[in-house]
């Protein structure tokens, strides 16, 4: 950047030039609205995001709505069985067409002037519209949608990134846990008063786990690294193999992803002896899923794109969605998955199922908001990452590179 006045650089170029390798990001990356808008255009809209589970769309006409980067989308299963993403903006004068969070419908009718659209987005009725107007050109705009191992992904890109890595990673992990045949047991949104990157950065490291998450740290080896971890994790892999379950650990995220492909990765970690699942006491919380005939004493972590992360235990799964709302507001949605035929009250207790990750998410909300508050200080100065923050460092490096 030598020879270029700092005032002539864009906010994101200034942030990149000011950033010291191996250190946290400059303040502007977390509170500058211009950088936030640039991120929406370069980091959010072009990438794939998990928006839900196929169990929400069992029958033709089933739909749910989702908001990402200020855009509202109707995700619906058509009469032909196809799942589509329809931009929730009437082609007449732009009003929101669908105002419900989820439901079942034969068509979508705009509440403003009653223009009506089919489940495929095609315009079906528009009162007094002249016959000379091409109705075929006035359907709801559609977005690319893919269902992979039961998870519904959506992108706003006109030319979407390839999903080869995502298919590979989910095929090696979520498939073994039977997520395609799972259902949603519970979902909860935690509003976090902080920049979206701070929420993702927090998830990408467990350096904070022992001081912030004693409940999680009691059972998860990942939270308490030591020289013995490799041997403990090797024993986990051996137990999993003896059950006849194959789970592949794959890294195809960010710098390792091929050009034009969405990033995805999968890693595994053991639970401490006596811990079988992610629960208050370490015991089972729901019926075993997928290929598991017994507990292997482990957990699988999956990351896809910049906003979607997943955890899989043998008896339940979790989807974490990080949803940017504004420069300093993020929605963190947690979705709990169980076996498709599991019945609440008979096969699982909802409070017991959700306890650990509700407690953990509430603690995350608190520390992420404290992180944002401290970054807003005029005295804030980025500090160095430690080895346990390698994932966070890789994530922020990727963010800065994508902004240019």
> What phi, psi does 2 have (nearest 5°)?
-60, 140
Residues 6+ apart with CB under 8 A from 23: 382, 383, 384, 385
Strands of 83-87's sheet in order across:
102-104, 62-68, 71-77, 83-87, 142-143
Residues 6+ apart with CB under 8 A from 381: none
Q: How far apart are CA 19 and CA 193, in angstroms?
A: 24
Q: How confident is the model at residue 7 (pLDDT cuts 50, 70, 90)?
A: low
Tell me the domain boundaries of the chain: 52-145, 162-403
Q: At what angle do helices 390-403 and 11-18 cross, to 10 degrees?
A: 140
Q: Which CATH architecture has domain 52-145?
A: 3-layer Sandwich (2.102)
CB atoms within 10 A of CB 105: 15
Task: State residue 227's pLDDT score.
Answer: 61
Q: How far apart are CA 36 and CA 301, in angstroms?
A: 27
For residue range 335-392, what is the model confidence (pLDDT) as tens digits? 999 999 999 999 999 999 999 999 999 999 999 999 999 999 999 999 999 999 999 9
What the block records as the tokens of 174 is 């979520």
Q: How far apart are CA 207 and CA 215, in angstroms?
A: 15
> What phi, psi does 20 have (nearest 5°)?
-95, 130
Task: State residue 404's pLDDT score.
Answer: 83
pLDDT above 80 (res 6)? no
Q: How far apart are CA 40 and CA 324, in angstroms?
A: 8
Contact 102, 56 (CB under 8 A): yes
Task: State residue 394's pLDDT score.
Answer: 94
State whether residue 28 is helix, strand or coil.
helix
Kindly state the average pLDDT of the residues 153-162.
97
For residue range 118-152, what is the model confidence (pLDDT) as tens digits? 999 999 999 999 999 999 999 999 999 999 999 99
Residues 6+ apart with CB under 8 A from 246: 172, 176, 240
Q: How far apart are CA 115 and CA 129, in angstroms?
A: 10
Task: Give the residues across from 146 on adjacent strands.
Answer: 153
State whether residue 250 is helix, strand or coil.
strand
Q: At what angle do helices 390-403 and 196-203 cross, to 10 degrees?
A: 140
Q: How confident is the model at residue 2 (pLDDT cuts 50, 70, 90)?
A: very low
Query: Percentages helix, strand, coil for the chain, rounded to the nearest 5?
Result: 30, 25, 40
**Which H or E element spans position 264?**
strand 264-270
Q: What is the pTM of this model?
A: 0.95
- CA 168 to chain centroid, in Å, comes to 17
Task: State residue 3's pLDDT score.
Answer: 47
Q: How far apart are CA 244 and CA 313, in angstroms?
A: 16
What the block records as the tokens of 123 is 């315009």
State whether residue 159 is helix, strand or coil.
coil
Task: State residue 246's pLDDT score.
Answer: 96
Residues 6+ apart with CB under 8 A from 132: none
For residue range 64-107, what is the model confidence (pLDDT) as tens digits? 999 999 999 999 999 999 999 999 999 999 999 999 999 999 99
Residues 6+ apart with CB under 8 A from 366: none
For residue range 223-277, what is the model confidence (pLDDT) as tens digits? 987 766 788 999 999 999 999 999 999 999 887 888 899 999 999 999 999 999 9
Task: State residue 374's pLDDT score.
Answer: 98
For domain 162-403, the CATH class is alpha beta
Task: State residue 229's pLDDT score.
Answer: 77
pLDDT above 60 (res 168)? yes
Q: How far apart are CA 77 and CA 279, in angstroms?
A: 34
Percent of the chain past pLDDT 70, that is, above it, reads 98
What the block records as the tokens of 150 is 């039961």
Task: State residue 254's pLDDT score.
Answer: 81
Kindly state the average pLDDT of the residues 290-300.
98
Length of the chain counted residue by residue: 404
What the block records as the tokens of 243 is 């059950």
For residue range 46-60, what is the model confidence (pLDDT) as tens digits? 999 999 999 999 999
> What phi, psi does 9 have (nearest 5°)?
-85, 155
Supply the mean pLDDT for the chain.
Answer: 95
Q: How far apart are CA 32 and CA 328, in angstroms?
A: 9
């Amino acid at each position: 950047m030598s020879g270029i006045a700092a005032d002539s650089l864009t906010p994101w170029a200034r942030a990149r030039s000011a950033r010291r390798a191996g250190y946290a990001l400059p303040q502007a990356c977390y509170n500058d609205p211009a950088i936030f808008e640039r991120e929406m255009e370069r980091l959010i809209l072009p990438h794939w995001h998990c928006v839900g589970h196929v169990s929400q769309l069992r029958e033709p006409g089933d739909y749910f709505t989702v908001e990402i980067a200020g855009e509202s989308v109707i995700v619906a299963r058509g009469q032909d069985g196809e799942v589509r993403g329809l931009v929730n903006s009437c082609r007449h004068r732009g009003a929101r067409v669908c105002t419900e969070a989820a439901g079942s419908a034969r068509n979508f009718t705009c509440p403003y002037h009653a223009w009506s659209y089919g489940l495929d987005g095609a315009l079906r009725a528009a009162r007094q519209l002249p016959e000379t107007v091409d109705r075929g050109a006035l359907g709801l705009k559609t977005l690319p949608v893919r269902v992979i191992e039961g998870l519904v992904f959506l992108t706003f890109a006109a030319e979407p990134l390839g999903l080869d890595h995502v298919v590979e990673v989910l095929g090696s992990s979520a498939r073994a846990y039977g997520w395609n045949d799972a259902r949603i047991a519970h979902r909860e949104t935690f509003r976090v008063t902080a920049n979206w990157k701070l929420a993702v950065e927090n998830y990408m490291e467990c350096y904070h786990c022992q001081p912030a998450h004693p409940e999680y740290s009691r059972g998860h080896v990942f939270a308490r690294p030591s020289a013995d971890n490799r041997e403990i994790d090797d024993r986990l892999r051996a137990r999993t193999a003896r059950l006849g379950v194959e789970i592949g650990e794959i890294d195809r995220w960010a710098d390792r992803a091929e050009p034009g492909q969405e990033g995805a990765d999968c890693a595994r970690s053991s639970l401490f002896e006596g811990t079988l699942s992610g629960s208050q006491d370490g015991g089972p919380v729901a019926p075993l899923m997928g290929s598991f005939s017994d507990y292997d004493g482990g957990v699988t972590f999956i990351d896809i794109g910049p906003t979607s992360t997943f955890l899989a235990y043998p008896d339940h799964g979790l989807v974490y969605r990080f949803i940017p709302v504004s420069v300093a507001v993020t929605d963190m949605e947690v979705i709990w998955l169980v076996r498709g035929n599991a019945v609440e009250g008979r096969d699982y207790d909802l409070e017991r199922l959700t306890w650990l990750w509700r407690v953990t998410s509430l603690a995350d909300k608190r520390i992420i908001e404290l992180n944002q508050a401290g970054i807003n200080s005029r005295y804030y100065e980025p500090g160095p990452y430690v080895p346990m923050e390698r994932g966070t460092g890789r994530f922020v490096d990727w963010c800065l590179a994508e902004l240019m």
